Amino acid sequence: DTEVTQTPKHLVMGMTNKKSLKCEQHMGHRAMYWYKQKAKKPPELMFVYSYEKLSINESVPSRFSPECPNSSLLNLHLHALQPEDSALYLCASSQDLGRTNTGELFFGEGSRLTVL
């Protein structure tokens, strides 16, 4: 069982809708990540938060808006998405981003998003 919980597991939305994906971890990790994964492809990094501050934004379109309300929660707000944004969105966490941290990632089960 994963210790990173993502909701919802499935989401269908129209291009004009606003929705949010949620992620929660209780491992005491201080780094949290959003990845996008297309079928049978590697995950693509979108955002990284470190100690609740945005640390990395991989030039993601502004229709994706991340939020880290506290050290355990990570949200991804979605607005005006395109059909090509349909994918599995994975949340992950790691201990932190310090150089002494080995950096293995712990993933949630993902939220499968379909944009109509």
Partner 1 sequence: AQSVAQPEDQVNVAEGNPLTVKCTYSVSGNPYLFWYVQYPNRGLQFLLKYITGDNLVKGSYGFEAEFNKSQTSFHLKKPSALVSDSALYFCAVRDNTNAGKSTFGDGTTLTVKP
Find the Cα–Cα–Cα–Cα dihedral 53, 110, 18, 71, rounded to 10°. Answer: -20
Residue 101 interacts with partner 1 (CB under 8 A)?
yes
Of the ranges 59-67, 68-76, 77-85, 107-115, which one interacts with partner 1 (CB under 8 A)?
Answer: 107-115
Amino acid identity at 75: N
Query: Phi first, then psi: what are they for 112, rounded to 5°?
Result: -90, 115
Which of 4, 81, 87, 115 is the binder for partner 1 (CB under 8 A)?
4
Of the ranges 14-22, 61-69, 71-79, 91-99, which one interacts with partner 1 (CB under 8 A)?
Answer: 91-99
The residues, ordered by sequence, that sit 6+ positions from 45 with a Cβ below 8 Å of its Cβ are 33, 34, 35, 56, 58
Of the ranges 13-21, 63-71, 73-81, 105-113, which one interacts with partner 1 (CB under 8 A)?
Answer: 105-113
* Angle subtended at Cα 77 by Cα 103 and Cα 13, rounded to the nearest 5 degrees: 120
Give the binding-site size for partner 1 (rule: CB under 8 A). Answer: 30
Which of 56, 60, 73, 80 is the binder for partner 1 (CB under 8 A)?
56
Structure token pair of residue 37: 């994964």
Catalog residues that contact partner 1 under the rule CB under 8 A: 2, 4, 6, 31, 33, 40-43, 45, 48, 50, 55-56, 90, 92, 97-99, 101-110, 112
